[in-house]
Structure 1
């Protein structure tokens, strides 16, 4: 039987203030819940249907009906479970490999997609400015499709970090050099900016270079790309070139 207090806690965790105070966050859907468990996140409680609970072993479980699950879930079609996990303590930032940095990204869907992007391409470090949407926002967690369990997301003063960073820094802009003709070092930082305003002038001033994805349309009238889409194109190009280089060196 689901109590009012249990329901209230799940609802409160939609607020950043309450997530920060408690160190907890919500994960929905059986696939994502299993991935967080397998990644070593501590579950405070997993509200699960009878069929899903059988696969969860020794986790702290509360059985709920589908009707109760629909009250807990924000999804139109709830998927077998809703869980409350404890937030991970982040490791130190390793200044090596390809690092993605986000300057004031506001849309939860964009951040969730960028976290999935990092997971897909093996980017272990994702840096976020302090103004970027919280990675434990339920919409971000949902959009990341479990990838948040495997990607280290760090919130910090982006200007402060970049000012002392030993790696080359490239910002994505509309007026940079052609992405496809740029040669990137193995270790570098790529900065993506706010959906409406791009990279802030303060952050751009710390960059070693600016890159752009050229438009190929005949009319050249498309104003811009979605930031998550742009991030995917940039990272795919960098990783693709690196892969070609490693094969040539074999």
Structure 2
């Protein structure tokens, strides 16, 4: 049975301040909870219906606290409009950023991404394209925001998201010989520009693109061309869409 205090605590995890204080975040939905368990994440609290617990052979070792709840209790605790059979309070992972490890392959860098849906989708894209590290500016939306978690579709458990001083990090990477790619309207055609197996691909803010400070760290400016050339339609692409196109082209080059 869920107490009122437990329900209030679960719902309070919609706030970044509480998540950071408690070092936990909220995962909702049958698939997402199972993804967390499969990834070996430490569940502080698992709330689930009897059907979910039985069907998935949930053992007490999978969570510090397992609470069987009714559909009505799940409705009260959930942040979703249509709750499923399970939600979990998950301990935040301890991550230690290492620039050398992060740039052995392609990494993503996000400069002030604001929309939770965009960040979640980009994390999912990174997982799809085998990108293990995302470097975020400190003003990028929190990756443990419930909307980011939902949009990532479980990829948050397989991709490491780091928050850091992006300008200084890119400066150190460039100094070590790592190529820094960035998308700009005046950049060279993505499909013709030489792309490296490793490096950092910078994607900018939804409304303003890559900031001036970060842009100065970029060594290779690229552009996704519209078709046909010179057409006067949409001014730009959604940042998640642009990320997908760029990542696909980087990975395609590896197959040539």
Range class of TM-score, shorter chain? over 0.9
Deviations 1:163-219 (A, max 9, x none): 111211011112110000011111111000000000000000011111110010473
- 2:88 corresponds to which residue? 83
CA contact (8 A) 2:137 2:163 kept: yes
Q: Find out whether 1:223 has 2:235 as its counterpart.
A: yes
Q: Distance in 2 between matches of 1:75 and 1:13?
A: 13
- 1:173 corresponds to which residue? 184
- 2:2 corresponds to which residue? 2
CA contact (8 A) 2:11 2:78 kept: no
- 1:22 corresponds to which residue? 22
Q: Which residues in structure 2 correspond to 1:154-165 (within 5 Å)?
A: 154-165=162-173
The alignment covers a number of residue pairs equal to 244
Once the two structures are TM-superposed, the CA of residue 92 in structure 1 deviates from its matched residue by: 2.9
Q: Find out whether 1:115 has 2:126 as its counterpart.
A: no
CA contact (8 A) 2:134 2:159 kept: yes
Secondary structure in 1 aligned to 2:107? strand
Q: TM-score scaled to structure 1, two decimals?
A: 0.95
Q: Which residues in structure 2 correspond to 1:55-204 (within 5 Å)?
A: 55=56, 56-58=58-60, 59=62, 60-93=65-98, 94=101, 95-165=103-173, 166=176, 167-204=178-215
CA contact (8 A) 1:195 1:226 kept: yes
- 2:49 corresponds to which residue? 49
Q: Distance in 2 between matches of 1:137 and 1:122?
A: 23
Secondary structure in 1 aligned to 2:191? helix
Measured on the aligned residues, the alpha-carbon RMSD in Å equals: 1.1
Deviations 1:86-145 (A, max 9, x none): 000113331211010000000000000000001111101111000000000000000001
Q: Distance in 2 between matches of 1:220 and 1:152?
A: 38
- 2:246 corresponds to which residue? 234
CA contact (8 A) 2:181 2:221 kept: yes
Q: TM-score scaled to structure 2, two decimals?
A: 0.93
Q: Distance in 2 between matches of 1:179 and 1:83?
A: 41
5+ long unaligned stretches in structure 2 = none
5+ long unaligned stretches in structure 1 = 245-250
Q: Distance in 1 between matches of 2:248 and 2:42?
A: 33
